[in-house]
Structure 1
Amino acid sequence: MKIKDFIWIGIFIGISLFVFLPTTNPVFVKLTQNYPYMMGFIKTMILASMGELLVRRIKTGSYFGDPGFYLKAIIWGLLGMAFVFVFPLFDGGIKSVLHNQVIFEVDFLNRLSYAFIVSLAMNLIFAPTFMMLHRMTDTYIMLSSGSLKNMRHVRFDQVIEAIDFKFLFSFVILKTIPLFWIPAHTLTFMLPSAYRVLLASYLSIALGMLLSIKRK
């Protein structure tokens, strides 16, 4: 391991300690409740970008060198704001459709079943569109070499041609959704709402590692 690896680990641990330590956790929860979209942007931008850096480290041996890193970070932040909107949309929607009826008498099993149904609905309805959109934004950034000026000259058909749709559908959508995201988001929806976007950001790091290993 190199010094940059220890720095990455140190930042990751520092963020986690801020979130979970009893002395700082109330601050995190209050900020998340009072400024949900701002915190969604910040949490997802930082943690998902750390995932991007880790994936690059695994693939190339270096954390830096991606000319589009900062644009990708902003995109992640915007997606984090979308998560803040989408998570309660599906959570509340499923509970409304099912009229909050009791599925199991045991409270844990009842919460688990609701979390699974919410996760299933969200991942079947929202996730494929989200994954394709994110792949398109990444491809725009790649084809423009991370330059907003160059991005004006990137055509939509060039983006479509550059995307590996076989990998996107055969692995990212058809395998990671049922095998990773549905179980992972079931756990996510078992948590209090203040921690859901945060856990999704942590999970993006784990999935990024899996995808990078798969494509090596």
Structure 2
Amino acid sequence: MKRHDVVFILVVLALFAPFFLSQSLYEIYCKFNLEHGLVMSFIKFAILATLGESLGLRIRKGIYDYKGFGLLPRAVVWGFLGIAIKVSFLLFLPGAVNLLGYLGAAGDSFGFKFLQSFTASSLMNLIFAPVMMSLHKITDTHILETGGTVKGLFSKIDVAVILQKVDWRMMWGFVFKKTIPLFWIPAHTITFLLPASFQVLFAAILGVVLGVILAFAANKAK
């Protein structure tokens, strides 16, 4: 294990350990999360999903960061995506409940709650996820092309040009066709079964897992 691996592990432990060691800190987190859900969504995704990208880079290239990779701009993008994901949770679960009710399905058993969660996850990942993933790909490309700087992030994005550079075979063949049905729909079915205060946190942790999956997929494609 190299020194930067130890540093990475210590950073992860520093992020999570206080919640297990301090009941008062955990209670503060729960209260702030309840009162400022969108802000916490930004923070969770900015930290955890970016850690996932950094870990994915470590798997692909043996390093956690390099000049031009743009960890800070990526964190900013993930923060705003986190807000969008939080909003999608607020929309798709009630939408699934209304849809099932419209179709005449009702109940309070675990089986029915699972059906609600699966329906919400399927709708979210088939309607919202492809748009979000495409937007994330566009911003990733823009960050790399502008030197990985915060200033570059907020420069004009030539979306039409970037879309022509995207490997749509990879996006469709793996990201859309495989990760959505095989990873995201099952994973977010579990997410929707959790208490609302933990849903966004779990979704952000899933971003770390996806970073690892994408890294292995990139290595396999070489």
Equivalent residue, structure 2, for 1:165: 168
Structure 2 CA distance for partners of 1:149 and 1:213, relative to 1, 3 Å = closer
Structure 2 CA distance for partners of 1:20 and 1:122, relative to 1, 3 Å = farther
Shift in Å, 1:32? 0.7
Shift in Å, 1:21? 5.6
Query: Counterparts of 2:77 and 2:166 in 1: how far apart (Å)?
Result: 18
Deviation string 1:98-143 (CA, Å, 9 cap, x unpaired) is 33976566x2212111111110111111111111111111111112
The answer (yes or no) to whether the contact 2:50–2:75 under 8 Å persists in 1 is: yes
Equivalent residue, structure 1, for 2:53: 52
Query: Counterparts of 1:13 and 1:74 in 2: how far apart (Å)?
Result: 22
Find the partner of 1:113 among 112, 115, 121. 115
Equivalent residue, structure 2, for 1:26: 27
Query: Counterparts of 1:128 and 1:113 in 2: how far apart (Å)?
Result: 22
Residues 1:212 and 2:201 aligned together: no
Identity across matched positions, percent:
36
Query: Counterparts of 1:82 and 1:152 in 2: how far apart (Å)?
Result: 21
Shift in Å, 1:12? 2.0
Structure 2 CA distance for partners of 1:99 and 1:154, relative to 1, 3 Å = closer
TM-score relative to the length of structure 2: 0.88
Deviation string 1:8-39 (CA, Å, 9 cap, x unpaired) is 22222333334456713322211110111111
TM-score relative to the length of structure 1: 0.90
The answer (yes or no) to whether the contact 1:143–1:154 under 8 Å persists in 2 is: no
Mark the runs of 5 or more structure 2 residues left unpaired by the alignment: none
Find the partner of 2:200 among 194, 197, 201. 197
Query: Counterparts of 2:95 and 2:141 in 1: how far apart (Å)?
Result: 33
The answer (yes or no) to whether the contact 1:48–1:205 under 8 Å persists in 2 is: yes
Find the partner of 2:183 among 180, 185, 190. 180
Shift in Å, 1:94? 1.4
Deviation string 1:39-92 (CA, Å, 9 cap, x unpaired) is 111011000111111111111111121422211110000111111211011011
Equivalent residue, structure 2, for 1:63: 64
Find the partner of 2:138 among 136, 143, 166. 136
Query: Counterparts of 2:35 and 2:48 in 1: how far apart (Å)?
Result: 20
Deviation string 1:125-176 (CA, Å, 9 cap, x unpaired) is 1111111111111111112222435874763333122211110011000100
- Greater fraction of residues in helix: 2
Return 89-98 or 37-46, whichever deviates more: 89-98
Residues 1:92 and 2:99 aligned together: no
Mark the runs of 5 or more structure 1 residues left unpaired by the alignment: none
RMSD: 2.2
